[in-house]
Chains A and B, each alone.
Chain A
Amino acid sequence: DGGITQSPKYLFRKEGQNVTLSCEQNLNHDAMYWYRQDPGQGLRLIYYSQIVNDFQKGDIAEGYSVSREKKESFPLTVTSAQKNPTAFYLCASSIISGTGFNTFGSGTRLTVV
Chain B
Amino acid sequence: QQQVKQSPQSLIVQKGGISIINCAYENTAFDYFPWYQQFPGKGPALLIAIRPDVSEKKEGRFTISFNKSAKQFPLHIMDSQPGDSATYFCAASSSGGNQFYFGTGTSLTVIP
Contact = CB atoms under 8 A, between A and B. Distances in A.
A14 to B, nearest CB: 23
Secondary structure type dominating chain A contacts = strand
Interface in B42-79: 42-46, 49
Contacts of A99: 32, 93, 95
B22 interface: no
Given A106-B42, A106-B43, A107-B41, A98 B93 contact: yes
Interface in A90-105: 90, 92, 94, 97-105
B101 to A, nearest CB: 8
B49 A98 contact: no
A25 interface: no
Secondary structure type dominating chain B contacts = loop
Contacts of A106: 41-43
A101 B104 contact: no
Interface residues of A, number: 29
Contacts of B6: 42
A102 B100 contact: yes
B43 A97 contact: no
Interface string B75-92: 000000000000001010
A104 B99 contact: no
Contacts of B112: none
B43 A104 contact: yes
Contacts of A4: 43
